[in-house]
Chain A
Amino acid sequence: MTEVVDIPALRVRDLRAGYADGGDIVCGIDLDQAPETILAVIGPNGSGKSTFVKAVAGLLRPRAGSIAITGREVSALSPAGRVAMGLAYVPQEANVFRGLTIRENLKLATEFLRRRAGVGPEQEAQVLAMFPQIAGRMRQLAGNLSGGQRQMLAFACALLANPEVMLLDEPSAGLSPRFVAEIMETIMRVRAAGVTVLLVEQNVSAALRVADEAVVLVAGRIAHRAPAATMAAADLADLFFARAS
């Protein structure tokens, strides 16, 4: 009898990463994420959340460990190579090309990915239908958009690559409460479209509202993992402040 094994959308093993000559900021993270789920990565400032997500995206070369997307090893690939394997990353702030128009930003999201299945005009029409805020202003410079609109454009660009896994680094940072709610709603629509979302977020309550599961990162390690709905505020406070200190 053949055993059916669910391949995780994202698998990370013993990931260690840091900057230049400094010590490890990510100190051996092991993580499996099921397909088409939202996993929130939360933790106090300096816990290594952004470093972790940059290492997964390939912007920071890991010192050790492995990363696989839907079972395919990507650790040795460049950031662009990982995009071709189905990984999309939306950075925290500098998430669009400010000196280029919205149309140029959207074109660039797919122009160098023609070999990836599902990337094409049909996908583009579907994605643009999800973001009516940007569809009508193609000639506008992306740098002239508001923070929330830039975030929407960044989401649209990432989705155009038809990703399996989408890494979001603090998408609510600097946004008004109205835009935060809109962004979180968009994240749920992204998941509903079949994309696995790893959501790094400072806004814990917003992240837990949309996530299926959450991990708490403290000092570069996963200190706690649980379904998002069961994470109690008191437990989080204990994890954030007691273990961080």
Chain B
Amino acid sequence: MNVLQLLLNGIVTGLLLALPALALTLVFGVLKFPNFAVGAMLTLGAYAAWVGNTLAGLPLAAAAACAAAAVAAAAVLIDRMVFLPLRDRGPITLLVASMGVSFVLENICRFSFGNDARNFDVAVARPIRWHGLRINHEQVITAIAVVASLIVLHVVLRHTPLGRAMRAVADNAPLAAVRGIERDMIAGVTWAISGALAAIAAVLAGLDRAIDPLIGWNYQISIFAAAILGGLGSPVGAVAGALLIGVAEEVSALVIPTNYRQAISFAVILILLLFRSNGLLGQKAIRK
């Protein structure tokens, strides 16, 4: 396989990773803990979209919208039931709680739908040939959906009061409180956006591979590597990190068997933790 094809595949993989990496980094920015349940939220989104698409007979885009709304609502509910009561206990407690949430969500999917692999009800189309490159329709859909999501998210974060408030809470939560911004309300909005992003990524992942209870887990390490590489808490960094991880994993196929490509993500996490724990664009944590 030529290098250009690998680069193209890597960019599309990176775009897919960008949405859950953003979901992870937004929650980290506002609530200061790494949400281990991001992969499980992706799994929940994949099954929600599958139900809408195959059982309810909705077109995939409509099923994706329903899944985004459902996972957003579930994320807010989980925040109110689990994370809000533990918010003053520190990031380690919240991280461990998110591990518990991850297991619960994954097993709800397993008990509800079984372990069988499932697929969306979409027509199979021939790939497009362009200058020697093979471009799948799924890759085109992924690129369009992710770029559109990133544009919407950019507009929300940069040009709306809620987005400014989210950035303010991420920047300095106590100051945001004394400026009249209710942190719990902003936390709810952040969880809703995070859930919606994970669900959209889930639909795109379900186009690329079979839906099973481990679909989110299969992306978990790459998502964390992307967010850490970009600098946890930095939305631009998360997208840049996701693209780099996606390309690195695909191009690694030239030198290592594809089964081991997640080793790249592990290596990135290890190297960053050793030499640059704040990532490419993250701010150094200041402890008093």
Tell me whether A100 and B175 are in contact in the complex, defined as CB-CB below 8 angstroms, given that A80-B180, A80-B181, A112-B180 are known contacts.
no
A80 touches B168 (CB 8 A): no
Contact between B172 and A108 (Cβ–Cβ < 8 Å)? no
Task: Tell me which of A83-91, A132-140, A185-193 binds B.
Answer: A83-91
* Minimum C-beta distance from A98 to chain B (A): 6
Contact pattern, B 158-176, Cβ under 8 Å of A = 1, otherwise 0: 0001001101101110111
Docked-complex contact B179 and A94, CB < 8 angstroms? no
Q: Is B178 an interface residue (CB 8 A)?
A: yes
Q: How far is the CA of A126 from the CA of B175 in the complex (A)?
A: 23
Per-residue B-contact encoding for A147-158, CB less than 8 Å = 1, 0 else: 000000000010
Query: B219 to chain A: closest CB distance in Å?
Result: 29
* Contact between A112 and B177, CB atoms less than 8 A apart: no
Which residue from A84, A88, A95, A104 sits with its C-beta under 8 Å from B164? A104
B121 interfacial by beta-carbon distance below 8 Å? no
Contact of B179 with A112 in the complex, beta carbons under 8 Å: yes
Q: B208 an interface residue at 8 Å Cβ cutoff?
A: no
Nearest CB of A to B223, in Å: 24
Partner among B167, B171, B180 whose Cβ is within 8 Å of the Cβ of A83: B180
Is there contact, CB below 8 Å, between B179 and A83? yes
B residues near A, CB below 8 A?
Answer: 161, 164-165, 167-168, 170-172, 174-183, 283
Chain A 86-142 residues near chain B, CB threshold 8 A: 88-89, 91, 94-100, 104, 107-109, 111-113
- For chain A, the count of residues having a C-beta within 8 Å of the partner chain is 28
Decide if B180 touches A84 in the complex (CB within 8 Å): yes
Nearest to B170 among chain A residues (CB) is A99
Q: Which of A78, A95, A113 has a CB less than 8 Å from the CB of B177?
A: A78
Query: What residues of A have a CB within 8 angstroms of the CB of B181 in the complex?
Result: 80, 108, 112
21 A-B residue pairs with Cβ-Cβ distance under 8 Å, sorted by A, are A58-B177, A59-B174, A79-B174, A79-B177, A80-B177, A80-B179, A91-B174, A91-B175, A94-B174, A97-B172, A97-B175, A107-B164, A108-B161, A108-B165, A108-B181, A109-B180, A111-B161, A111-B165, A112-B165, A112-B180, A113-B180
A219 near B: Cβ within 8 Å?
no
Asked whether B167 lies within 8 Å of A57 as measured between CB atoms, the reply is no
Given contacts A78-B177, A80-B182, A161-B180, A112 and B161 within 8 Å (CB-CB): yes
Task: Please name all residues of chain A whose beta carbon is closer than 8 Å to the beta carbon of B283 when the two chains form the complex.
Answer: 99
Q: Which residue of A lies closest to B186 (CB)?
A: A112
The answer, among B165, B178, B180, for a CB contact under 8 Å with A91, is B178
What residues on B are CB-neighbors of A58 within 8 Å? Answer: 177-178
Distance from B89 Cβ to chain A, minimum over Cβ atoms (Å): 12
